[in-house]
Every structure is written in structure tokens, then in C-alpha cells.
Amino acid sequence: MELIARARSWAAQDPDPADRAEIEALVGAARAGDAAAEAELADRFTGCLTFGTAGLRGPLRAGPNGMNHAVVRRAAAGLATWLTAAGARGTARVGEGTGPPAVVIGFDARRRSDAFALDSARVFAGAGLRALVLPGPLPTPVLAFAVRRLGAAAGVMVTASHNPATDNGYKVYLGGPAGAPASGAQLVAPADAQIEAAIAAAPPPMAIPLADTWTRLGDDVVAAYVTEAAATLAPATAPAGLRIAYTPLHGVGLGVLRRVFAAAGLPEPAAVAEQAEPDPDFPTAPFPNPEEPGAMDRVLALGEAIGADVVLANDPDADRLAVAVGRRVLTGDELGLLLADEVLRRAPGPVATTVVSSTALRALAARRGVGCSETLTGFKWIMRADPALVFGYEEALGYATRPDLVRDKDGLTAAVAIARIAAAEAARGRGLLDRLDDLARELGVAATEQVSLRVDDLAASTALLRRLRADPPDEIAGLPVAAVRDLLAPTGADERLPRSDVLIFSLAGGARAVVRPSGTEPKLKIYLEATEPVSADGDLASARARSAERLAGLVRWARSLGQTAGRPPSPTPPAP
């Protein structure tokens, strides 16, 4: 009865008639003894979506533990309260005078994204802020660009990125003084906890003031992004006949990518017809993440059919990029190394990656005489690694080739960069794989793989980390453990990183194993790397065979951890 009372109280304040009806139907079924309806109510009303460093993300459904109008209005109200209390001010490039802080709102083509964006705009306007809504469904990088371009105090992007069609989300970017390194980057602690507290203190949705004084922006900001993005790694001339296959995976990437490529003088990519237009149902890609098995099957087939020099795939909000040559899909680490090499040829400066990404970027930076920072996973950290950052990446297909333009990962500028690298290599009768071979001869072969172990619950993954801390291995897959870095108890250079449940095992011969729990799913993630130098005669085949053999052993070890996940740590032996 307490659960039903909580559901009815929420429904009474829900501004959306369809959501109210959804709750009342569940309440009626639960009262009639429907166990499934009662379980569904419990799932929706015994918790709520947590506002973390990525904002909100969850299933589209009524109730506090879902993405809906009531949750979005309270999130916008909490953010507005925080911005006002903090005295946040933009640089007022929009409108006359300094005025109140501006918030830019963007949205993709998922279900209810446009409605949630409008809800947010009306709440921000009702709170006395300047609410600026992008002109239509657009990629996330355009929103991140707009925050910096317009000198806004904050930006909101309504998207669930590469989640399934059943989800939506609410990502928040913070502004800052003009030219500030973190302006336009995703928020970090303590802002996330402060905003979450403001959301919890927000009034019921029906009591939140709304206003229709928000502004719909024109195409100017999109056109400015197109012009700037087209200049990525310019100048370069694409050879006649360069062929590119592309898919936006039913997302919003194609329209802007076509404009950027045209402005850059690059040939228009051939797009997968059945995935070209935005479709919130993602009919051919139920898990629209280029990393998912099968997600790129159609674009790989298109690339094969047209004899493409390079194959490109964005995720639905176009902040990530996957690349293939023929049927060979490059790893995120390979693509990161290619991009970093080209950026450093043109603009030497500090670079950054995450502790779970390959060590090859560090080796490249050392050879080029530039600094390289390691951060925790997430672009919110990468973008804060160095004020003068020229490039950053994470192995999960995220790349910042223009951190001066977008302080986040950007799958569109990365696509321009890769197309220009491919064009330069094609003009020499070569391809991207030849460029990777050059880097392997210079830096050595670095073979990487990620193993995800699904466990019973989040507690099981943290229990395994405790066991590894209490009883660390002396060797892994036959390779002696040379050092262990524990980011929960950091020492030395790691002390500058926020504490995090991550263990890094450095192994003999340059191999590595990084273990961390997933922050959102009952999974343990293990990132493996095996490196091998290339002999003086340039025998890549032998080096790759040796690194592949070592990597296979590491993978077997990682999978064996799944058999012990959740087991209590070994007891500490008594002191002698």
C-alpha cells in the first residue's frame, strides 16, 4: 500500500497525461493482484535515476526511475537553481549586454528528445535564464561546440548516445570564462553532487515555473561548427576516386557530416541506405554501438561493394567513430594512434588518454618530445588533463582531434581527420594499414583486447577487486608482475587522479592488465595489452605473432577470473 500511495502521489504531480495514465494502469493492475505490475511499480518507485557525471540516462517510462517529463523538469529546475546560486555567467555573445546566464539545449532524434528539450527550455526560461534551443535534431558535438561558441553558462544534450531505443538521457556541459580549458566540457565532481542535491530539493513538477520566452537558434551555430570542423587537419587534397562508406546507425550524424565533408573538399561518403535517416526504433541495429558485434555489418558490406578506401561509422549522436579498412575493423587504440600521429605532425603539444587505453600513445609522445597525461576513463577527465591539450582519446572509440573546438569526444572531426589521412596515403598508393605498419616499426607492436565479465551484481565485481588487492598475483599468464598500481590508494604521480576502483598490473615485457568494475552494469572490465618490439629487419609478422600469443594468454587469464568473481578475499596470514 505504501508503494501504491507513492505511485499515486507522483502521478498527481506528473505533467504528462500519458505518463499519469501509465502509472494509474500499473496501480490498478497491482491492486488486482498482478505480481508483474507490482514488481514493475517497485522498480520504478523504490529508487530514482541518479544524476552522475554523465547526467541522467535510463528507460523511457513514467516514474522517478525513468526518463519522462516529470523527471526532466525537475532536473532542469535543479540545474537552473545551481547555476543561479553559483552566479554563473557566460560571455554574453548572444543578445545585448551581459544579461542572465544562457543555457544551450540540444537534442537528438530519439523518442521524446525534442519534447524533453522544450520542457527544459521552458523551465530555464521560467527560472529567469536565457534558454537557447538548437534548430533541430543534431549531433552531441554541435551542442558541446555551441556552449563555447555562445559563451553559455551550461549546455544540455538530450540523448542516450548508443543505448537501445528504449532509453533516453540528459547530458550536462558546463561553461566558463572565454578560453577557459574546461569551458564546454562535461561536468565533474563536486558539481554533479551539488546539482543532484538541487534536483532532490526541486518542487513537484507541476509547481515548477515555466515560461515561453526561450529562443530557437537559427542555422548560424551549425554553420559555424561546419566551417570549423572542415578545417580539421587542413590542408589536404583528396585524390580523385577516393571512396568512403559510412553509416550513422539510424542517428543524426549524416546531415552534418555531409556538410562538413563538402566544406572540407572531401568526397561525399556513400551511406548505408537503410540506416541513413534518423529512426528512434533503430530497426537494423538494436544495440546501435559500433563496438557491438554485428552493428557494422551493413556498412562493411557497402564498403566491400564499392571498393571503399575507408569505412566510417558514427554512433547515433555522432560523438564516437569506428573505422574499418576492408573487413578489418580498427581497434579504438589503433585509431587513436593514427589520429595522434597526424595531429602531432601538424601541431606538437600535450596529449592525453585514459589509464585503460594502450600505452602506445605514451611511447609516441616520448618519440615526438611532447607530454602525455593519463586520466581516469571519461572525456570529462581527458579534457581537463592539460590546458594546452592538442589531442585526447579513449579506447572506447572516443577522439578529440580538435579540443580547441569541442571539449569532448567528436566523431565528426575525427571522421574528417581519418578521411584526410586516408586521402594522403591513397595519393602515395598506400592505405591506413600501411600507416599503422609504419608506426609499429617505430614504436613496436601493441596488441590490445577488452574482456567484460558479467557477474551477479555490482557487489560481486567489487568483491573480486578486493580479493585481487588482498592477494595480488605474482604472475599473470606466465608473465611476472613487475608493479601494481592501485588507484584507490594512489601513490606518486597517481595521487593527482581522483580515487577510483582500478588495479593496474604492469607485467614483464611491457604487457599490462587493467581491472575495474563497470560503473553502471554488473560487469568487471579487464583491459589487456601485449607489446613486442620489431626487429631491425622490420619483421612485423613475427612481432605480431608473438604479441598475439601473449595477448591470448592474458585473455584466458581474464576469463578465468569470472569463475572466482564474488569469492571472498583470501585470509591475511598471521604475523610471524
Q: What is the DSSP string of 32-70?
A: TT-HHHHHHHHHHHS-----BTTBEEEEB-SSTTSBSHH
pLDDT score at 234: 86
pLDDT of residue 570 exceeding 50 = no
User: What pLDDT score does 178 carry?
Assistant: 66
- Distance linking the first and last C-alpha atoms of the chain: 58
Q: How confident is the model at residue 69 (pLDDT cuts 50, 70, 90)?
A: very high
Q: Phi, psi at residue 110, to the nearest 5°?
A: -70, 165
Structural domains of the chain, with CATH:
1-46 (no CATH), 50-218 (3.40.120.10), 224-441 (3.40.120.10), 444-563 (3.30.310.50)
* Mean pLDDT (whole number) for 367-377: 95
Work out the number of other CB atoms within 10 angstroms of the CB of residue 52: 16
**pLDDT surpassing 90 at residue 459:** no
Max CA separation in the chain (angstroms): 78
pLDDT at residue 57 above 50?
yes
pLDDT at 345 over 50: yes
C-alpha torsion 416→417→423→426, nearest 10: -140
Please compute the mean of the pLDDT values over residues 471-477 and round it to a whole number.
93
Q: Are strands 503-507 and 479-486 parallel, antiparallel or unpaired?
A: antiparallel
- pTM of the entire structure? 0.92
Confidence label for 453 from pLDDT (cuts 50, 70 and 90): confident
Percent of the chain with pLDDT over 90: 79
484-509: average pLDDT: 92
Q: How large is the average pLDDT for residues 335-358?
A: 96
Mean pLDDT of 90-117: 79
Instruction: pLDDT band for 565, please (50, 70, 90 cuts).
Output: low
Point out which residues pair with 525 in neighbouring strands.
452, 516
Annotated catalytic residue, options 161, 357, 373, 547: 161
Whether pLDDT at 477 is above 50: yes
The model's pLDDT over 391-445, given as tens digits with 9 standing for 90+, comes to 999 999 999 999 999 999 999 999 999 999 999 999 999 999 999 999 999 999 9
Over pLDDT 70: what percentage of the chain?
94
Residue 120, C-alpha cell as written in the block:
527544459
Q: Is the model's pLDDT at 51 over the cut of 90?
A: no
Task: Give the residue among 453, 417, 421, 446 at the shortest CA–CA distance from 563.
Answer: 453
Burial class of residue 134 (count of CB atoms within 10 Å of its CB; 0-12, 13-18, 19+):
buried
> What is the spatial distance between Cα 288 and Cα 300, in angstroms, rounded to a whole number?
15
pLDDT of amino acid 94: 44
How high is the pLDDT of residue 328? 96
Indicate the pLDDT class of residue 47, thresholds 50, 70 and 90.
confident
Q: How many Å apart are CA 36 and CA 24, to the nearest integer?
A: 15
The answer, yes or no, to whether residue 575 has pLDDT greater than 60, is no
Tell me 371's DSSP state: -
Q: At what angle do helices 540-560 and 432-443 cross, to 10 degrees?
A: 80
**Which residue type is seen at 182?**
A
Q: Is 161 a catalytic residue?
A: yes
Mean of per-residue pLDDT scores for the chain: 91
- Region 466-472: mean pLDDT is 91
- Give the C-alpha separation, 190 to 157, whole Å: 20
Distance CA 525, CA 513 (A): 10
CA distances from 155 to 40, 105, 184 (A): 33, 6, 8
The Cα 88–Cα 154 span in angstroms is 9
